[in-house]
């Protein structure tokens, strides 16, 4: 699916992973144009793995902005290693995307 | 003959049900791990309790970068870096949000205790980072002035 953009760039020993997820991140408190409360719909769990081994596990609430953005850093990766990200939201929907580590 | 067919059908149905359960299992396991008590908490203290952070001390080894002023509370970029040895997790809270706990990041296998993300803020408040290191908790806060709340 095209709803996750992920890039991993290595500089020296450090790999920087940047990801953008397309998701409404509804709090369950917002009202639409008709005054109806929009049900909560937000990502709860994000897992990032390097070559299948978990490096980051995030739990999110409704306070993460719409279309969540995430950057973090990693040691021990090599060019060509596989980074993968998966999210699961409160409705049980999920998505995943992978990328190869690139030279910076 | 009939008996044999019935057995085969029952066996196939059993297999299908088992496969279905196996396919769902990993998602269920993940979903069960979400810390509902901490994220649903409406007070900072309750959120910290939900995280297991009962005694939180100050630290100068946490770098929290947040804007002094945010025109739009819907998107406030927060950067947190911990220089505390053995940092395992970074949590981010906006103290006056309806549910203060925003995110908890757990690092492993070579990931550095460093994160940038964007959060919603309902009103002017302290943004707080809670670091878990060696089973202890440390924190730092920074006030962010919000012109237009973004909690909707």
What's the number of domains chain A is made of? Answer: 1
Q: Which residues of B touch A76 (CB under 8 A)?
A: 109-110
Q: Give the minimum alpha-carbon distance from B39 to chain A in angstroms, rounded to a whole number.
A: 6
Q: What is the per-residue pLDDT across A66-85, written as a single tens digit (0 to 9) for each?
A: 999 999 999 999 999 999 99
Residues B57 and B69 in one domain: yes
CATH number at residue A27: 2.60.40.10
Cα B113 to chain centroid distance, Å, stands at: 14
Q: Where are the alpha helices (DSSP H) in chain B?
A: 2-32, 36-40, 44-51
In a 3-state reduction of DSSP, which class is residue B47?
helix
Specify whether the CB–CB gap between B48 and B54 falls below 8 A.
Answer: yes
Residue A1 has pLDDT above 50, yes or no: no
Residue A79 token pair: 């060019």
Q: Which residues of A touch B107 (CB under 8 A)?
A: 55-56, 72
Residues B42 and B117 in one domain: yes
CATH number at residue B69: 2.60.40.2470
Q: What is the per-residue pLDDT across B9-39, written as a single tens digit (0 to 9) for each?
A: 666 666 566 555 555 555 445 444 899 999 9
Neighbours of B79 (CB within 10 A): 14
Residues B114 and B45 in one domain: yes
Determine, for residues A54 and B104 on separate chains, whether the beta-carbon distance falls below 8 Å: no
Considering only CB atoms, B115 lies closest to which of A30, A71, A75, namely A71
Residue B54 token pair: 């009962």
Residue A65 token pair: 């902005």
Measured between alpha carbons, how far is B54 from A38 in angstroms, rounded to an integer? 34
- What interface predicted TM-score (ipTM) does this complex get? 0.96
Measured between alpha carbons, how far is A101 from A63 in angstroms, rounded to an integer? 30
In whole angstroms, how far apart are CA B69 and each of A80, B75, B101, B138, B152? 40, 12, 20, 25, 19
Q: Which residues of B touch A44 (CB under 8 A)?
A: 31, 34
Residues B67 and B95 in one domain: yes
Residues B4 and B40 in one domain: no
Residues B40 and B113 in one domain: yes
- Best to test chain A binding among B30, B89, B126 (most A CBs inside 10 Å): B30
- Beta strand pairing call for A43-50 and B69-72: unpaired
Determine, for residues A68 and B106 on separate chains, whether the beta-carbon distance falls below 8 Å: no
Residues B90 and B69 in one domain: yes
Q: What is the per-residue pLDDT across A17-76, written as a single tens digit (0 to 9) for each?
A: 999 999 999 999 999 999 999 999 999 999 999 999 999 999 999 999 999 999 999 999
> Which phi and psi angles does B32 have, rounded to 5°?
-65, -20
Question: A90: Cβ–Cβ under 8 A, 6 or more apart, which residues?
Answer: A40, A41, A42, A44
pLDDT tens string for chain B (152 positions)? 455 555 666 666 665 665 555 555 554 454 448 999 999 999 999 999 999 998 999 999 999 999 999 999 999 999 999 999 999 999 999 999 999 999 999 999 999 999 999 999 999 999 999 999 999 999 999 999 999 877 65
Which pLDDT value is given to residue A104?
85
Q: Quick one: DSSP state of residue B7?
A: H
- Domain region containing B132: 36-148
Stronger pLDDT, B32 or A2, i.e. the higher one: A2
Q: Which residues of B touch A30 (CB under 8 A)?
A: 152
Residues B105 and B143 in one domain: yes
Measured between alpha carbons, how far is B114 from B128 in angstroms, rounded to an integer? 15
What does the angle CA A2 – CA A42 – CA B107 come to, to the nearest 5 degrees? 80
Which pLDDT value is given to residue B150?
72
- Domain region containing A11: 4-103
Q: Quick one: DSSP state of residue A37?
A: B
Q: Which residues of B touch A94 (CB under 8 A)?
A: 27
In a 3-state reduction of DSSP, which class is residue A32?
coil
* Overall pTM surpassing 0.80 (yes/no): yes
Neighbours of B52 (CB within 10 A): 11
A27 part of contact set with chain B, CB < 8 Å: yes
Which pLDDT value is given to residue B148?
81
Residues B58 and B125 in one domain: yes
């Amino acid at each position: 699916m095209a709803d996750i953009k992920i890039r991993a760039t290595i500089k020296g020993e450090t790999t920087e992973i940047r990801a953008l997820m397309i998701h409404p991140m509804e709090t369950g408190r917002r009202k639409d144009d008709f005054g109806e409360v929009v049900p909560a719909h937000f990502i709860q769990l994000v897992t990032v793995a390097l070559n299948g081994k978990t490096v980051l596990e995030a739990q999110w609430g409704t306070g993460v902005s719409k279309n969540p953005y995430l950057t973090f850093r990693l040691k021990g990766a090599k060019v060509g290693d596989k980074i993968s990200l998966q999210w699961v939201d409160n409705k049980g929907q999920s998505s995943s995307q992978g990328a190869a580590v690139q030279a910076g | 003959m009939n008996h044999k067919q019935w057995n085969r059908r029952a066996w196939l149905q059993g297999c299908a049900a088992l496969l279905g359960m196996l396919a769902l299992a990993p998602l269920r396991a993940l979903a069960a791990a979400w810390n509902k008590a901490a994220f649903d908490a409406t007070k900072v203290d309750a959120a910290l309790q939900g995280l297991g952070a009962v005694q939180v001390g100050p630290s100068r080894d946490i770098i929290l970068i947040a804007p002094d002023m945010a025109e739009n509370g819907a998107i406030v970029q927060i950067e947190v870096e911990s220089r505390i040895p053995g940092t395992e997790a970074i949590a981010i809270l906006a103290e006056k949000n309806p549910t203060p706990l925003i995110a908890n990041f757990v690092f492993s296998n070579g990931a550095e205790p460093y994160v940038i993300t964007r959060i919603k803020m309902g009103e002017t408040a302290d943004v707080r980072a809670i670091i878990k290191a060696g089973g202890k908790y440390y924190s730092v806060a920074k006030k962010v002035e919000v012109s237009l709340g973004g909690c909707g």
